Structure 1
Amino acid sequence: GLTASAHLSIGVRGPAGPVARAVAAMPEAPFVTLTAGGYAVMAELRTKGIADLDRAIERVRCLPGVDVVDPLISTRHLKDPYLLAGEPAVTELDETDQLVLRELEADGRLPFAELAERVGLSAGAARARTLRLLDGGVAKVLALVRPELLGLGILCGFAVRVEGERDEVAARLAEREQVSFLSSCMGRADLVGTITVESLAAIRTAVEDMRAVKGVRAVESWVHLELVKERYEDPAAE
């Protein structure tokens, strides 16, 4: 049900830390960082519809210390390690499905017997429910890996303006291994994303390669200095 999302570039008056923590306290904000670049704080919002997204952005604008909010409204997520590709085969969830998802969200390694006890089903029924949700494209279970433990200790955000066919440029960028997230958007840029690399030199190389891609008109980039929050879940569960 989280159908609307946006990337926020947030300028601040005074220290950026308190602003970042205030944004991170919002259940609609799964991702918040302190950054080096034109803006001191970057955040992602995900909500149930554009109206909710508009209200969440306005709440950010009204936070103490916020000077300016420049939103990029996502139109389509093209590459995201935490989202499934395509439309789900299962489109209706009952109350028991919601319970199963919330328990798996808290601990994706739950044995079926324990899951069954928590949601009031037999072990077989809990297994069948879970497999239906996984196979039906509603959910997936994965590890949230710290990039620095893989030798990929630096995250660089980027916004791209495109000339010509946006989908063609997006496809060329999405196939790059360093690009870990990519979304089409509306606002000052046509695409927004993240590069995950091992060094500042690798960022320079990746950004230069991006500028050389046919159809790329301009690239804006920033370095994520501190990950304040990365927690993807249903805001209604907060």
Structure 2
Amino acid sequence: MDFLTERAITYLRRDGRASYSTIAKELDTTRANVSSRLSPLFQSGSLRVIAAIHPRILGLEVLAHVSLRVYGSPAHIIEHLTQLPSAVYLSEATGSYQVIVELHSPSLTDLHRDIGEIRALDGVIEGHILQYEHVYSSFFLGEEPDLQGFQLDETNQLLAQQLQIDGRKSYAELAEHTGLSISATRDRVARLLDSGAMQIGVVRGRNSAGSELVFGFGFTTATPHPQLLELLRAQPGLEFLSSTVGRYDLVTTISFNSLPQFATLLQAIRTIDEVRTVETWLHTRIHMERYVHSGSWVTHE
């Protein structure tokens, strides 16, 4: 994947509904150049643009990263975790922990129950839990939603459901589903995005034929750590970044096109005085990335 394609995808992560013309203008190239790179990726399913609802809107207040050390084949553990309603991300990984799962739960009580269920699975030796403190970057999580005076009614839910299927649906198509005018539909979508209740961005399809390498990083650091945050946020493949409570102070997920690209970043990280330790793991197979929650929206007065 060339540099222009990577930059176009990075732009779509911020604004999944941006037109090819807008992207071309921002990247100082032609619309044809952007289209020739992105259209085949969309047609093959390698890229999708979808909406994600902020978990807070669904009453999911506790977000956690769970690393599992297992023995034998993890197949039955993977199968069980894919059915767990709170699981939103699930992968097999290299390193000390062979299975990684991210959980979104309504409360610590619910998280505790799910952790107990996971630890009781045959083949699980131990599990380490990190609770997310402040999420700096994620497709799921933007800034904390500003819901003051905002009505999350059935029409907004219907719009969100359609955009979760295809985040680039035209306003005319969305208007047909809601019965609103095109201008009213546009205003509704804008309010959902501006409030932080919903994000629309590009996600990459995961398949065995892809050459993308997805690495996790866990850091213990000095506090504060602005230089490290600046470096990580500048990575075009940044998928997730959060401070945590647990054995790490910070965790991130970053995708790379090659091992040399990964090695270059790792070398840069090791020159930062704020970093005390860094551990890495490769997500060898991502089994699930759940962007559509099954929960109901919570009413905010």
Q: Same fold (TM over 0.5)?
A: yes
Match of 2:52 in 1: none
Q: 1:123 to 1:51 in 2, by over 3 A?
A: farther
Partner Cα distance (1:127, 1:176) in 2? 32
SS in 1 for 2:281: strand
The one-letter code of the counterpart of 1:48 is P
Match of 1:58 in 2: 116
Question: Does 205-214 or 182-191 show the bigger shift?
Answer: 205-214
Q: 1:31 to 1:94 in 2, by over 3 A?
A: same
> What stretches of structure 1 of length at least 5 have no aligned partner?
none
SS in 2 for 1:159: strand
Q: 1:87 to 1:164 in 2, by over 3 A?
A: closer
Match of 2:75 in 1: 17
Alpha-carbon distance, 1:130 to partner:
2.1
> What stretches of structure 2 of length at least 5 have no aligned partner?
1-55, 297-301
Match of 1:100 in 2: 159
Match of 2:104 in 1: 46
Q: 1:188 to 1:152 in 2, by over 3 A?
A: same
SS in 1 for 2:159: helix
Partner Cα distance (2:242, 2:123) in 1? 28
Match of 1:133 in 2: 192
* Residue 79 (structure 1) aligned to one of 113, 137, 143: 137
Alpha-carbon distance, 1:120 to partner:
5.2
Q: What's the CA shift string for 1:185-220, capped at 9, x where partnerless?
A: 011110011121122233233223212212100011
Q: How many residues align?
A: 235
Q: 1:63 to 1:107 in 2, by over 3 A?
A: farther
The one-letter code of the counterpart of 2:157 is Q
Partner Cα distance (1:195, 1:129) in 2? 33
Alpha-carbon distance, 1:27 to partner:
2.5
Q: 1:210 to 1:168 in 2, by over 3 A?
A: closer
Alignment of 1:1-238 (within 5 A): 1=56, 2-84=60-142, 86-91=143-148, 92=150, 93-119=152-178, 121-146=180-205, 153-166=212-225, 169-236=228-295
Contact 1:80 1:182 in 2 (8 A): yes
Question: Does 2-11 or 92-101 show the bigger shift?
Answer: 92-101
SS in 2 for 1:22: helix
Alpha-carbon distance, 1:168 to partner:
5.4
SS in 2 for 1:207: helix
The one-letter code of the counterpart of 1:28 is S
